[in-house]
Structure 1
Amino acid sequence: MTQHAHLQGRKGLVVGIANADSIAFGCARAFRDAGADLAVTYLNDKAKPYVAPLAEQLQSPIVAPCDVREPGQLEAVFAQIAERWGRLDFLLHSIAFAPKEDLHGRVVDCSQQGFAMAMDVSCHSFIRMARLAEPLMPDGGCLLTVSFYGSEKVVEDYNLMGPVKAALESSVRYMAAELAPKHIRVHALSPGPLKTRAASGIGHFDELMERTRARAPAHQLVSIEDVGHVAAFLVGDGARALTGNIEYIDAGYHIVG
């Protein structure tokens, strides 16, 4: 742990670690370095061997399966947290999914089923987490999710995830307003493109990264460590006056016309 242990004694949940390159892992490492205790989830038995060693690095006392499409799994995670800790101070929702055939085609051509699944996994699951977290945050807390600039501008090959992330960002604003009286803050992190396993599902992703590098003011990309530093700040007391924001961590990419 570093000397900047501003999250000492805080309890957090991180959902969405797939491997060491995950945005969720970059954030989890920053939370842990700042002194937080973390509950970590993995998608399924296939994913567990990749996540378990990372959870060990993070010294996580709670490591549980969580596929939000499986009835009861998300609720079981929160039941474990309630039993073990009795409270929760923050959570990170870093999951998204769309069927490949819907993601790789035009929005105009996406199926009703594919659209509904993408919205359920990528957006509504964050709302569910907020509802489950609320009773565990009697003294306030912070909820984070992960978005992308393709939510507000058309980004080539981002396709169906654009409207889905737009819904997620709107949900952040409404949830921030609704939960503010309980001192629960809500934000979306909006990193520039990062080479994660989730990103590999997006068509021509390497080209997207190079376009982003060329357009960003400093002609650089960001890292999962960069995202983690911002996430750790947002869940701490130093950010208690902030809520409902889309926090761009993209080396200025979003300011360039």
Structure 2
Amino acid sequence: MFSLTGKRGLVVGIANDRSIAYGCARQLRRQGADLAVTYLNAKAEPHVRPLAEGLEAEIVVPCDVREPGQLEAVFDEIEARWGRLDFLLHSIAYAPKEDLHGRVVDSSQSGFAQAMDVSCHSFIRMARLAEPLMERAGGGCLMTVSFYGAEKVVQHYNLMGPVKAALEASTRYLAAELGEKRIRVHAISPGPLLTRAASGLDRFDSLLERARARAPEHRLVTTEEIGAMAVYLASDEAATSTGTIAFVDGGYSIMD
């Protein structure tokens, strides 16, 4: 059950061994998937490439979605090497620090636009580029990573709240538009955990402690537990599920 043997997938967002994307990639590979992995830039490559090699990734390429042509080059490489794509994991987010640490009402136009482009619209762009490759595979699964702050106000999550809300809405619309091609779309919503990206949030330590105290299990989730959800969603067993926000948070999201 949940075997991914024979499936090929792209993982975008590995920064180090604590990344959500890496925890997911480990689980996806463990269940037999062949992986393509990206790294942000030359500075990030020495940290990511050894991890990619440990995953036996067949494709390892740079991808900064802010750089014109880089995202398209990733999919060109996949088309040339594999000719198809079965699943994709989008696990990237960004907002300028001054906008991320300030009130939403004070966010700059440029900062808001950057956050929306990298954190949300890049997923839409990936979906468009993946669509023909997934059609050739007879369908596929697109996954992104969200957070409960998209649904309710979470103190100090600030600008990322509206951005993740847009990402979750995009997930539903993409699911509706691509469903006839048997392309499923999901957002995985983990509880707070310490990653390089999340550590940029203001007073993140207090957010972690509040999450631990609030969750019924009184613990934080792990990246590999998040990866287990990614495995299920990418598998044929989840063929009738699409457009979902899949919480992996120990019950954090059900509590007042």
TM-score in same-fold range (> 0.5): yes
Asked if 1:33 corresponds to 2:30, the answer is yes
- What's the C-alpha RMSD, in Å, of the aligned pairs? 0.7
State the distance in 2 between where 1:226 and 1:5 align.
15
Task: Please give the alpha-carbon distance, in whole angstroms, between the structure 1 residues aligned to 2:123 and 2:52.
Answer: 22
Matched-pair contact (CA < 8 Å) for 2:16–2:48: yes
Secondary structure of the 1:49 match is helix
Cα distance in 2 for residues equivalent to 1:155 and 1:47: 30
Tell me the equivalent position of 2:73: 76
Give the superposition deviation at 1:220.
1.1
Q: Does the aligned pair in 1 maintain the 2:2–2:236 contact within 8 Å?
A: no
Indicate if the aligned counterparts of 1:5 and 1:35 stay in contact, CA closer than 8 A: no
Match for residue 125 of structure 2 among 106, 112, 128 = 128
Please, which of 29, 53, 56 is the counterpart of residue 53 of structure 2? 56
Q: 1:45 aligns with which of 38, 42, 49?
A: 42
Q: In the alignment, residue 186 of structure 2 is paired with which amino acid?
A: H
Q: TM-score, normalised by structure 1?
A: 0.98
For the 8 Å contact 1:213–1:221, the answer to whether it is kept is yes
Contact 2:2–2:237 at 8 Å: present in 1 too? Answer: no
- TM-score normalised by the chain length of structure 2: 0.98
Aligned counterpart, 1:109: 106
CA contact (8 A) 2:2 2:231 kept: no
2:139 equivalent in structure 1: 140
> Deviation digits for residues 168-207 of structure 1, max 9, x if unmatched?
0000000000000000000000000010000110011111
The residue matched to 1:38 in structure 2 has which SS? strand
Equivalent residue for 1:205?
204
Contact kept? 2:87, 2:142, Cα under 8 Å:
yes
Long gaps (5+) in structure 1: none
Deviations 1:7-52 (A, max 9, x none): 0010000000000000000000011000000000000001000000
Matches within 5 A, 1:231-246: 231-246=230-245
Alpha-carbon contact 2:141-2:183 (below 8 Å) kept: yes
CA-to-aligned-CA distance 1:99-129 (integer Å, 9 cap, x gap): 0000000000000000000000000000000
- C-alpha separation between the residues in 1 aligned to 2:4 and 2:218? 33
Distance (Å, rounded) in 1 between the aligned partners of 2:30 and 2:200 = 30
Percent identity over paired residues: 71
SS in 2 for 1:190: strand
Unpaired segments of 5 or more residues in structure 2? none
Q: CA deviation at 1:5?
A: 6.9
Letter in 2 for 1:10: K
Return the alpha-carbon distance in structure 1 between the equivalents of residues 47 and 210 of structure 2: 31
For 1:43 and 1:164, how far apart are their aligned partners in 2? 21
Following TM superposition, the consecutive aligned residue runs of length 4 or more in structure 1 with deviations greater than 3 angstroms are none
Secondary structure of the corresponding residue to residue 195 of structure 1: coil
